Amino acid sequence: MNKSIKENSRDRFQLETELARDLGLVAATTIIVGGIIGSGIFGAPADIAAAVGSPMLFLLVWMLGGLLCFSGALCFAELGAMMPRTGGIVIYLRESYPPFVAFLYGWTEITVISPGALAAVAMICTTYVGYFIPEISIENILLEIGPVVISTQHLAIFTILGLLGAVNYVGVRFGGLISNMSTFAKIAALLGLIFLGLMGSGSVDHFTKASASTKEISLLGALGVAMVGTLFSYNGWYNTNNVAGEVKDPRRVLPLAIIIGLSLCMLIYLAVNWTYLYVMDIDEIAASERIAAEAAERLIGPLGGSLTSLAVILATLGTLNANILYMPRIAYGMAREALFFRWFAQVHPQFRTPSRTIVTLILCGMIWSLVGNFMEIVMAVMYVLFVFYVLAVIAVFILRRRYPEKPRPFKVWGYPITPLFFIFVSTGYIVSTVIFNFSEALPGVIVLVLGVPVYFLWFRRYLLNS
């Protein structure tokens, strides 16, 4: 299998350089911004504030997260410009490592990364639904089966995921409408909060008032925990590679799109978190279940809380719909190229959708919602994703050596410092997550390790017999 992959590399690279380059700066930047700004900014600040306990560290973490993602985006931009082919990270892993690594990515994507992200976003959505329906709460337990607890919030999550899964199962016709509403809602909510913060009343003392609670966790451990929520909020910078091979004049447009797009996201995130701090002190932020709604409510009363909660609900529903739309295509695409089980390549005969991957994703998302609260879910998921991000950035070094003659319309700035920075900091984040939060990281570790025997004892035989 390795031999056939290498033999076809020349043809694949040739095909990749022939894609039409029709996207300009505005389109490329919009794709980046739209992919990054999602649901995390409405759910992560409370957990970040609880972890660091310092207003300045609270803001610093958002800056560090943005810089880390910026360095990763530059590396992915080089890979995407070199190999502008549908599949993204799967292509980079396949070209740089044995097939086992690409399989392991597909395995964790369908069992951990995608469903865990769905569960986390759905939890934010139902938390803000709770602003209008207080009965939707994690404390309202419906059923206990050993260590597994099912609450009214879990029931709401199951309902939302089931309905959106059904919509995408029968087709993608309504996806565009939901996505458009979501984009408008999340931008309106964030800009509205920033405007209210500038015009409203707060206290600058909140920026110097540290948490009153004592913390036993080390600074490294606190920053590691805080980075989880930040990186989840910035996740989407990976979308830059999806436009790398199709932008006009990539040497100029691609870096500009990355700089402008990520800079806008960092500016918006910092401005929103500045508003949170201006309105509430660090302890109040840490204790808030619906930080955006509570901040708006303090600024202009119940109407502000209601409008903001509604906007967050629409935004998270759109994020969920978009994820359910594209996430199943990862396993589907891998199965089509014999990198994953062929079963996932099945297309529904009537609806022409990857029905099996959609059903699998929704069921796994429901299971992941039972892991814990928002941060516990994100803690179990994000570091696994960053394992493959790190491997993909290492591929920049591997592919430069393996294919030095291949065209690279864009080369990462500051090479080799930029990729080394991403590798070093991301590895530190992964290690700190496992060391300081092992119980939360354990589900991801278990599934990741299980992928090894699944590949060698099952998948390889499956390929030989198919």
pLDDT at 389: 94
Mean predicted confidence (pLDDT) in 277-297: 91
pLDDT band at 369 (very low <50, low <70, confident <90, very high): very high
Least confident of 51-60, 78-87, 144-153, 337-346: 78-87
pLDDT at 146 over 50: yes
pLDDT at 134 over 80: yes
* pLDDT tens, residue by residue, 183-206: 677 777 788 888 888 887 778 888
pLDDT at 227 over 50: yes
pLDDT at 213 over 90: no
Which CATH number goes with the domain that contains 282? 1.20.1740.10
pLDDT at 373 over 50: yes
pLDDT at 240: 61
Q: What percentage of the chain carries pLDDT values higher than 90?
A: 25
Instruction: Name the more confident of 173 and 313.
Output: 313
Peptide bond before residue 416 is cis, with ω within 30 degrees of 0: yes
Structure tokens at 130: 């709770």
Domain of 343 in residue numbering reads as 2-465
- Total number of domains in the chain: 1
Structure tokens at 86: 């549908």
H helical segments located in 148-301: 152-169, 175-199, 219-234, 240-243, 250-279, 282-287, 291-300
pLDDT at 391: 96
pLDDT at 412 over 50: yes
**Regarding beta strands 148-151 and 141-145, do their DSSP bridges make them parallel or antiparallel, or are they unpaired?**
antiparallel
Instruction: Name the more confident of 118 and 146.
Output: 118
Mean predicted confidence (pLDDT) in 314-326: 82
Structure tokens at 140: 């309202």
Least confident of 183-197, 215-229, 318-332: 215-229
